[in-house]
């Protein structure tokens, strides 16, 4: 009973304690011991969104659904904030914060904790990564920010986010793709599997040529991997053969032709500039496929 009375007394005095405190960056700050770790109702107008929030898009339909739930049941899980001067900053719970404003709430339950700027960024990024509806590029960008701004190694990062180091590496490699491909992945036109296959093509023109073919022919990840392998093997054989002497107007177009046909074509040219293109095929079906492409 005494414990319950203490909580009630603390609750009645929290407002005064909050007003009498400034930033809460460590346990030694004024009133930190009495305030931190408590859940209190805070006016929505006194809360700022997290300036380190990596997420910029919030699904409007999902937000309206959450708002409807809050209208009926209230905010079941408190948001988390830190005290900064006379205001509060969100650590986590921006969707609940936005949804509460949508239904006209004036206050919201909030858990108060200590966090400095670096911890704010790290918590926001890690919380963002743990969401299930993020696209691969959003995850990769969050990993990159943790490495660059929090100065984590890939090994430390894998521990923080609970992922294998190889998984972290695979996401980060996606950022080497041409920006158009990254956008295509964010918009759902290609998957992370497609992106991982395309990383093996070093130049942007080659990546874009295959990307266009993926969209045009709706290639699976396995088909894309096979196509990339064909082009890589052809490129390797080209580098060790006399085809290095081909004029630039042919070399510049060769990757695009190979990508379009799905085969490694053979081009020869004589001293007078006349040449021949040979297109291999492996079956009747393969021949019909190539014939249809050339119509």
What SS3 state is found at 228? helix
Helix (H) or strand (E) holding 101: helix 94-102
CATH topology of domain 2-115: 3.90.1530
Residue 50 and residue 67: Cα distance in Å, rounded?
A: 20
- Do 131 and 107 meet the contact criterion of CB atoms below 8 Å apart? no
Q: Report the 10 Å Cβ neighbour count for 178.
A: 17
Long-range pairs of 115-118 with CB within 8 A, sequence gap ≥ 24: 115/25, 115/82, 115/91, 116/25, 117/52, 118/149, 118/150
Domain boundaries, the chain: 2-115, 136-174, 203-293
pLDDT tens series, the chain, 295 aa? 444 433 333 344 555 545 555 555 544 455 444 555 678 888 898 898 877 666 666 778 888 999 999 999 999 899 988 877 778 888 888 889 999 999 999 999 988 877 677 777 777 777 777 766 778 998 898 888 888 888 888 888 888 888 898 999 999 999 999 999 999 998 899 999 999 999 998 888 889 989 999 999 999 999 999 999 888 776 655 454 444 467 888 877 888 888 787 777 888 887 777 888 888 776 677 788 888 888 7
Question: In the structure encoding, which two tokens stand for residue 226, read together?
Answer: 């096979």
pTM, entire model: 0.55
Burial of 82 (0-12, 13-18, 19+ CB in 10 A): buried
Residue 72 and residue 111: Cα distance in Å, rounded?
A: 22
Q: What is the pLDDT of residue 19?
A: 54
Q: Report the 10 Å Cβ neighbour count for 220.
A: 13
Burial of 146 (0-12, 13-18, 19+ CB in 10 A): buried
Q: Report the 10 Å Cβ neighbour count for 140.
A: 25
Q: Report the 10 Å Cβ neighbour count for 74.
A: 12
Question: In the structure encoding, which two tokens stand for residue 253, read together?
Answer: 């177009």
Q: What is the pLDDT of residue 26?
A: 47
- Do 178 and 210 meet the contact criterion of CB atoms below 8 Å apart? no
Residue 129 and residue 139: Cα distance in Å, rounded?
A: 6
What is the full DSSP assignment across 127-172?
A: HHHT-TT--HHHHHHHHHHHHHHS---HHHHHHHHT--HHHHHHHH
Nearest to 54 by CA among 130, 116, 128: 128
Residue 205 and residue 253: Cα distance in Å, rounded?
A: 10
Enzyme catalytic residues: 94
């Amino acid at each position: 009973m005494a414990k319950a009375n203490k909580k009630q007394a603390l609750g009645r005095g929290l407002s005064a304690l909050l007003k009498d405190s400034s930033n809460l960056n460590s346990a030694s700050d004024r009133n930190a011991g009495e305030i931190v770790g408590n859940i209190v109702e805070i006016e929505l107008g006194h809360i700022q969104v997290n300036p380190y929030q990596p997420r910029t898009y919030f699904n409007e339909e999902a937000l309206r659904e959450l708002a409807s739930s809050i209208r009926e049941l209230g905010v079941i899980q408190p948001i988390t904030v830190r005290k900064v001067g006379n205001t509060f900053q969100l650590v986590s719970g921006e969707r609940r914060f936005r949804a509460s404003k949508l239904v006209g709430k004036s206050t919201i339950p909030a858990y108060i904790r200590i966090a400095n700027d670096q911890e704010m960024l790290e918590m926001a990024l890690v919380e963002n990564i743990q969401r299930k509806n993020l696209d691969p590029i959003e995850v990769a960008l969050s990993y990159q920010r943790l490495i660059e701004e929090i100065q984590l190694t890939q090994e430390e990062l894998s521990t923080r986010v609970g992922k294998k180091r190889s998984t972290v590496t695979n996401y980060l490699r996606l950022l080497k793709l041409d920006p158009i491909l990254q956008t295509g992945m964010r918009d759902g036109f290609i998957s992370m599997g497609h992106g991982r296959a395309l990383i093996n093509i070093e130049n942007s023109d080659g990546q874009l040529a295959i990307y266009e073919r993926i969209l045009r022919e709706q290639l699976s990840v396995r088909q894309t991997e096979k196509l990339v392998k064909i082009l890589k093997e052809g490129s390797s054989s080209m580098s060790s053969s006399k085809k290095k002497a081909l004029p630039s107007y042919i070399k510049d177009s060769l990757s695009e032709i190979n990508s379009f046909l799905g085969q490694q074509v053979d081009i020869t040219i004589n001293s007078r500039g006349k040449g021949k293109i040979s297109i291999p095929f492996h079956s009747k079906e393969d021949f019909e496929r190539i014939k249809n492409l050339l119509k």
